[in-house]
């Protein structure tokens, strides 16, 4: 157990492994997030896992394979994985769109390290654990939304011996191949011992494992270093299409109520972020889910500090003047995110998100604008329960109405996206499609894995609705985007050049989709391959911010990083932490291992019982 070698390597896969070689038109599936269509962002929980285990002396390295592949066309995944020598490989299959890339990485890990166990984890791994464990390249699945402690027990067992049957949340195989599903019993009510994500680990790891590219969350993060904080694990809402709803958490993670991070812990993390970043901090989930008192306490604590960064709040319910006036007193600058999904009250009610009148929505917007909000992002979606084509595209009329009502206020920003690529497994709509107006086209993990290699995003979709075919979903998505661009042009939010670019891109996307459909009719063979290859550069271009002008989603940043003095102090603190961990934690583990080896015990062999 060498002092500096990694015990556990966490690999983050690209969505589709061979995206650099083959033609895929991912379309607008990643239009509303910072990642590219390769979905190079890794689950924030990888940093909490790494930090938790490192504090106990284990070395944990994150390798963002997806990011490395995107930034370097020559990056040789096999060579890099072959060089690694951990005791355990971890691969996240958190988001189902990684189903293809995750399995391919597992195959590579096994090809070069047949004796090293490969463990999977995340939302989709937990959901599909039974199917996943049957793949020959997967040895274990760690289920649950809080895997830090069970993983510590697993690593101890792998390094020092012990039975796997007592490790909570673990699905594993005995040497004879029998699958064992341990109880999903580690579901902590408090997660205050964790910073989610753990930025201190991320920074420390850059020096420790000598790679910045491995922990960068998305391609242009250095230019646009926005950060986020998770305010809870779990949710109190039951949005029909969400795989992270209360229903889904109960079903997938055995969690009956959310674990909220305390206001103290959140404020502490905000102050830490301020030390290294000047960019906005996005607070994930509506803090009011934890109750009015919880929210008020957070604001009170925030008011006592000198907050410099802009904070972005998510609204799951309407808000009044009181809400905004307290925020204004606590922070210098704030923005809002509201995922309306539809402008129609009836559809919102059927989906279960922002179930309120449009008047309440507009009063909320008015309150925010009056109280100096920096900007409000409103999101609409194509493909929600029972929505028709017309209802989807007409959200643009509602956006026009809002701009008229609020005198063309440019702080109002509108976005639309399709429900894509997948209806989330574990969501109410995935589990009971007919009840929510869906026809589910794929169910198993293997079906989704294969679907991801389809050439265009239309064919990847795992559903259609009773009111919209997959063609309708694609067309409605593009038409809504065209209409929104028109509205933005009319109100001077988008200039003519940007507008024309959006139009040109959408028209080219539509032509490409049609051409792909024609190619799909051809038999396998040279002509098919050639015509697909000819589309390669077009489809790549059509997969980056198809629906809106580039950078529309970004908040203007005045200062990217922390001030030099603060950053220097932070770096010194990180150095001291590293020295402490090495001297008091790592060395202890190494000596224990040496002692066991000298006494002739071979822990690895004993652990698989
Ligand atoms: C925050 C969030 C985001 C953030 C991502 C932040 C991040 N880097 O993690 C943003 C906004 C960027 C985002 C984007 C997307 N998201 Co999202 N997101 C969420 C949200 C709101 C919270 C997730 C959460 O609570 N995580 C905390 C816990 C559960 O996870 P964690 O701490 O990261 O990891 C722990 C465990 O999951 C596990 N684990 C995770 N990975 C691994 C790996 C190993 C080896 C092991 C052992 C364990 C393990 O252990 C960790 C530590 O305990 C959920 C909805 C919800 N209410 O839950 C949706 C949700 C997870 N997202 C979802 C989706 C579909 C997406 C997108 C694909 C959407 C899209 N088309 O653009 C993208 C993918 C982004 C990418 N990879 O590039 C779906 C996933 C459904 C599914 N099964 O696939 C969800 C459930 C709901 C939804 N529709 O939004 N998302």
List the structure tokens of 564. 């030099």
The beta strands (E) that lie in 472-527 are given as none
How far the first Cα of the chain sits from its last, in Å, is 22
Distance of CA 328 to the CA centre of its chain: 29
- Residue 340 CB-half CA count within 13 A: 29
The verdict on the CB of residue 146 being under 6 Å from ligand 1 is: yes
CA of 390 to the centre of ligand 1 (A): 31
Q: Name the residue of 244, 431, 442 to mutate for ligand 1: max ligand atoms within 8 A of Cβ.
A: 244
The verdict on the CB of residue 47 being under 6 Å from ligand 1 is: no
β-partners of residue 330 are: none
According to the model, what pLDDT value does residue 603 have? Answer: 54
**φ, ψ at 7 (rounded to 5°):** -85, -35
The verdict on the CB of residue 579 being under 6 Å from ligand 1 is: no
Name the closest-CA residue to atom 31, ligand 1: 45
**φ, ψ at 262 (rounded to 5°):** -70, 155
The vertex-495 CA angle with 489 and 498, nearest 5°, equals 100
The verdict on the CB of residue 90 being under 6 Å from ligand 1 is: yes
Report the alpha-carbon distance of residue 204 to residue 209 in Å, rounded. 9
Contact in structure between 18 and 448 (CB atoms under 8 Å): no
Cβ-proximal residues to 193 (8 Å cutoff; 6+ apart), any chain? none
Contacts 24+ apart (CB under 8 A), 343-346: 343/380, 343/394, 343/395, 343/397, 343/398, 343/399, 344/391
Q: Strand, coil or helix: what is 25?
A: strand
The burial class, CB within 10 Å (0-12 / 13-18 / 19+), for 296 is: middle
The verdict on the CB of residue 33 being under 6 Å from ligand 1 is: yes
Report the alpha-carbon distance of residue 167 to residue 183 in Å, rounded. 9
Q: What is the pTM of this model?
A: 0.95
The verdict on the CB of residue 227 being under 6 Å from ligand 1 is: no
According to the model, what pLDDT value does residue 63 have? Answer: 98
The verdict on the CB of residue 96 being under 6 Å from ligand 1 is: yes
Q: In 315-466, which residue ranges form alpha helices assigned H by DSSP? A: 321-330, 345-351, 358-370, 389-393, 395-405, 428-431, 445-451, 457-460
The verdict on the CB of residue 147 being under 6 Å from ligand 1 is: yes
The verdict on the CB of residue 48 being under 6 Å from ligand 1 is: yes
β-partners of residue 172 are: 140, 180
β-partners of residue 415 are: 379
Instruction: Identify the CA nearest to 290 among candidates 324, 326, 314.
Output: 314
Cβ-proximal residues to 162 (8 Å cutoff; 6+ apart), any chain? 153, 156, 606, 607
Q: Which atom of ligand 1 is nearest to the CA of 148?
A: 53
Name the closest-CA residue to atom 70, ligand 1: 30
The verdict on the CB of residue 124 being under 6 Å from ligand 1 is: yes
DSSP 258: -
The verdict on the CB of residue 243 being under 6 Å from ligand 1 is: yes
The verdict on the CB of residue 231 being under 6 Å from ligand 1 is: no
According to the model, what pLDDT value does residue 472 have? Answer: 97
According to the model, what pLDDT value does residue 549 have? Answer: 57
The verdict on the CB of residue 258 being under 6 Å from ligand 1 is: no
Q: Name the residue of 43, 65, 227 to mutate for ligand 1: max ligand atoms within 8 A of Cβ.
A: 43
List the structure tokens of 315. 């609204």
CA of 148 to the centre of ligand 1 (A): 16
CA of 59 to the centre of ligand 1 (A): 24
The burial class, CB within 10 Å (0-12 / 13-18 / 19+), for 293 is: exposed
The verdict on the CB of residue 594 being under 6 Å from ligand 1 is: no
Instruction: Identify the CA nearest to 545 among candidates 415, 397, 389.
Output: 415
CA of 520 to the centre of ligand 1 (A): 33
List the structure tokens of 535. 């589309």
Q: Which residues of the chain have pLDDT under 70?
A: 1, 542-545, 548-551, 601-609
Report the alpha-carbon distance of residue 346 to residue 386 in Å, rounded. 10
Q: How many helices (H) and strands (E) does the chain have?
A: 26, 17
Report the alpha-carbon distance of residue 175 to residue 166 in Å, rounded. 17
Q: Which atom of ligand 1 is nearest to the CA of 245?
A: 57
Report the alpha-carbon distance of residue 275 to residue 313 in Å, rounded. 20
Name the closest-CA residue to atom 65, ligand 1: 95
List the structure tokens of 476. 């409605």
Name the closest-CA residue to atom 5, ligand 1: 43
Ramachandran sector of residue 43 (left: φ over 0; alpha: ψ -120 to 50; beta: rest): beta
Name the closest-CA residue to atom 88, ligand 1: 242
DSSP states of 61-117: EEE-HHHHHHH-TT--HHHHHHH---SEEEEE--SGGGHHHHHHHHHHHHHH-TTS-
Contact in structure between 288 and 322 (CB atoms under 8 Å): no
Instruction: Identify the CA nearest to 186 among candidates 140, 133, 132, 254.
Output: 254
Contact in structure between 227 and 279 (CB atoms under 8 Å): yes
Name the closest-CA residue to atom 25, ligand 1: 233
DSSP states of 159-207: HH---GGGSTTEEEE-TT--EEE-------S--TT--SS-HHHHHHHHH
Q: Strand, coil or helix: what is 122?
A: coil
The verdict on the CB of residue 91 being under 6 Å from ligand 1 is: yes
Report the alpha-carbon distance of residue 455 to residue 323 in Å, rounded. 47
Strand order through the sheet with 281-284 = 227-230, 281-284, 311-314, 334-341, 376-382, 412-418
Contact in structure between 56 and 152 (CB atoms under 8 Å): yes
Residue 150: in which H helix or E strand, if any? helix 148-160
According to the model, what pLDDT value does residue 605 have? Answer: 42
Q: Which atom of ligand 1 is nearest to the CA of 424?
A: 81
Report the alpha-carbon distance of residue 63 to residue 105 in Å, rounded. 12
pLDDT in tens, 177-214: 999 999 999 999 999 999 999 999 999 999 999 999 99
CA of 245 to the centre of ligand 1 (A): 12
Rg (CA), the chain: 24
The verdict on the CB of residue 249 being under 6 Å from ligand 1 is: no
Contact in structure between 304 and 270 (CB atoms under 8 Å): no
Instruction: Identify the CA nearest to 561 among candidates 203, 302, 207.
Output: 203
pLDDT in tens, 319-367: 999 999 999 999 999 999 999 999 999 999 999 999 999 999 999 999 9
The vertex-212 CA angle with 206 and 214, nearest 5°, equals 100
Q: Name the residue of 15, 16, 33 to mutate for ligand 1: max ligand atoms within 8 A of Cβ.
A: 33
According to the model, what pLDDT value does residue 467 have? Answer: 98
Name the closest-CA residue to atom 18, ligand 1: 244
Q: Which atom of ligand 1 is nearest to the CA of 48?
A: 52
According to the model, what pLDDT value does residue 516 have? Answer: 87
The verdict on the CB of residue 433 being under 6 Å from ligand 1 is: no
């Amino acid at each position: 157990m060498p002092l500096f070698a990694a015990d556990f390597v966490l690999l983050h896969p690209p969505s589709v492994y061979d995206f650099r070689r083959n033609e895929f038109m991912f379309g607008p599936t990643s239009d509303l997030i910072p990642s590219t269509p390769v979905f190079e962002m890794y689950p924030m929980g990888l940093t909490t896992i790494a930090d938790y285990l490192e504090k106990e002396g284990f070395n944990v390295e994150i390798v963002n394979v997806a990011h490395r592949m995107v930034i370097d066309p020559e990056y040789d995944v096999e060579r890099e994985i072959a060089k690694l020598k951990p005791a355990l490989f971890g691969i996240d299959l958190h988001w189902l769109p990684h189903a293809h890339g995750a399995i391919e990485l597992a195959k590579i890990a096994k090809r070069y390290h047949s004796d090293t166990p490969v463990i999977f984890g995340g939302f989709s791994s937990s959901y599909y654990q039974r199917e996943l464990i049957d793949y020959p390249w997967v040895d274990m699945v760690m289920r649950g939304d809080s895997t830090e402690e069970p993983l510590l027990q697993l690593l101890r067992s792998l390094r020092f011996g012990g039975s796997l049957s007592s490790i909570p949340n673990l699905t594993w195989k005995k040497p004879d191949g029998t699958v064992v599903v341990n109880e999903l019993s580690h579901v902590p009510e408090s997660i205050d011992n964790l910073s989610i994500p753990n930025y201190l680990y991320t920074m420390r790891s850059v020096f420790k494992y000598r790679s910045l590219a491995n922990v960068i969350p998305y391609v242009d993060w250095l230019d646009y270093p926005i950060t986020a904080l998770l305010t809870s694990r779990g949710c109190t809402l039951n949005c029909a299409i969400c795989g992270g709803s209360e229903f889904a958490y109960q079903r997938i993670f055995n969690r009956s109520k959310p674990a909220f991070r305390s206001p103290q812990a959140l404020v502490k993390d905000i102050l830490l972020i301020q030390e290294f970043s000047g960019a906005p901090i996005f607070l994930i989930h509506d803090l009011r889910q934890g109750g009015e008192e919880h929210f008020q306490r957070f604001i009170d604590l925030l008011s006592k500090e000198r907050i410099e960064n802009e904070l972005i709040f998510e609204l799951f319910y309407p808000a009044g003047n009181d809400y905004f006036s307290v925020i204004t007193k606590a922070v210098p600058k704030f923005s809002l995110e509201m995922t309306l999904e539809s402008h129609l009250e009836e559809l919102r009610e059927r989906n279960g998100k922002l179930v309120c009148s449009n008047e309440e929505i507009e009063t909320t917007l008015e309150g925010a604008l009056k109280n100096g909000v920096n900007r409000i992002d409103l999101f609409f979606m194509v493909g929600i329960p029972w929505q028709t084509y017309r209802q989807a595209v007409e959200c643009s009329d509602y956006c026009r109405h809002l701009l008229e009502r609020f005198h063309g206020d440019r702080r109002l920003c509108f976005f639309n996206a399709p429900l894509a690529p997948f209806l989330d497994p574990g969501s109410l709509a995935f589990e009971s499609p007919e009840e929510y107006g869906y026809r589910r086209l794929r169910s198993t993990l293997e079906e989704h894995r294969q679907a991801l290699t389809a050439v265009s995003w239309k064919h990847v979709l795992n559903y259609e609705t009773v009111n919209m075919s997959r063609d309708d979903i694609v067309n409605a998505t593009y038409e809504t985007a065209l209409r929104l661009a028109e509205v933005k042009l009319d109100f001077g939010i988008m200039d003519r050049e940007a507008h024309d670019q959006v139009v040109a891109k959408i028209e080219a996307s539509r032509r490409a989709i049609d051409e792909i459909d024609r190619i799909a009719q051809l038999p396998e063979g040279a002509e098919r391959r050639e015509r697909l290859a000819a589309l390669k550069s077009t489809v790549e271009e059509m997969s980056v911010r198809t629906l809106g002008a580039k950078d529309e989603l970004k908040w203007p940043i005045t200062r990217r990083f922390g001030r030099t003095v603060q950053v220097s102090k932070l770096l010194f603190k990180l150095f001291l932490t590293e020295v402490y961990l090495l001297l008091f934690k790592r060395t202890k583990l190494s000596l224990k291992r040496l002692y066991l080896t000298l006494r002739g015990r071979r822990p690895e062999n004993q652990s698989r019982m």
